[in-house]
């Protein structure tokens, strides 16, 4: 039996994993649960881990996976690190409930779609804009939105590490030119540089915020920033 706070936190983590493919930060958890300090979040996380609902992955910032959900949340487990995409990389959206029969190899192929990998994206100092396809990668259909085009980028840098996005990860992006505050986006700066950051609108300006305190937030005028897509999934190789 989970307490209300434990259930609220589990539900918040689950919803964020479904939306962004990465778990929320401890600060975001604290705000969402209206707690005064992160120590309360640490206690809730520990309690959920001890009860077998989540697992923290060692040596990775903000790496939390949901192992199972209580019945009043559908009883559907979230991703397991042992599950892989058709490309052989871990996908937060590739888990299936234990009651679902294992797919045959042919069915697994049908459940995946190939999308283009457009090169590398900087999670740190912006690099040259992405403009050419390097190869294709198979992505589970469950990770892709039913509408819109998608592409993938290889992450270079550590500025988004506290969002669970590490150097060498593959991020799955849905093409869009709009974003809500707090969304992780591919931002094109001055039509020359591309970077992966959280986007916020502040006093008529655009703030591109890292998830690593070593990097400063870049504040730019709206005409300097074009949103090229929003993060919808993450693939990691172990």
Determine whether 197 is an active site residue.
Answer: yes
CB 210 within 8 A of CB 146: no
Exactly one of 108, 197, 221, 226 is catalytic; which is it? Answer: 197
Give Dmax (Cα) for the chain. Answer: 54
Tokens linked to 110: 């049908």
Tokens linked to 34: 């209206």
CB 171 within 8 A of CB 123: no
CB 85 within 8 A of CB 79: no
Exactly one of 25, 91, 94, 159 is catalytic; which is it? Answer: 159
Q: What is the DSSP string of 45-105?
A: HHHHHHTTSEEEPTTSTT-EEE----GGGTS-----TT---TTSSB-TT----TTSPPPPH
Determine whether 159 is an active site residue.
Answer: yes
Pick from 210, 194, 158, 184: which is nearest to 22 by CA? 184
Collect contacts of 174-177 with beta carbons under 8 A, ≥24 apart. Answer: 174/144, 174/145, 174/148, 174/149, 174/150, 174/229, 174/230, 174/232, 175/148, 175/149, 175/150, 175/151, 175/228, 175/229, 176/148, 176/227, 176/229, 176/230, 177/226, 177/227, 177/228
* Residues acting as catalytic residues: 159, 197
């Amino acid at each position: 039996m989970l307490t209300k706070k434990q259930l609220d936190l589990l539900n918040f983590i689950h919803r964020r994993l479904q939306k962004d493919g990465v778990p929320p930060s401890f600060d975001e958890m604290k705000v969402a649960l209206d707690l005064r300090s992160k120590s309360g979040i640490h206690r809730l996380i520990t309690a959920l881990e001890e009860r077998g609902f989540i697992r923290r992955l060692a040596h990775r910032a903000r790496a939390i996976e949901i192992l199972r959900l209580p019945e009043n949340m559908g009883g559907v487990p979230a991703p397991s690190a042992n599950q892989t995409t058709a490309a052989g990389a871990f996908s937060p959206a590739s888990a299936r409930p234990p009651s679902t029969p294992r797919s045959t190899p042919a069915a697994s192929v049908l459940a995946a779609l190939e999308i283009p990998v457009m090169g590398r994206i900087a999670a740190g100092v912006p690099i040259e804009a992405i403009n050419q396809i390097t190869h294709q990668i198979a992505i589970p259909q469950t990770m892709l939105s039913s509408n819109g085009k998608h592409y993938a980028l290889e992450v270079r840098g550590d500025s988004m590490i506290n969002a669970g996005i590490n150097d060498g990860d593959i991020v799955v992006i849905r093409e869009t030119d709009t974003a809500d505050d707090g969304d992780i986006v591919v931002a094109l700066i001055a039509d020359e540089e591309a970077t992966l950051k959280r986007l916020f609108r502040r006093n008529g300006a655009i703030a591109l915020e890292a998830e690593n305190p070593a990097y400063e937030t870049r504040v730019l005028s709206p005409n300097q920033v074009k949103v090229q897509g929003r993060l919808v999934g993450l693939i990691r190789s172990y």
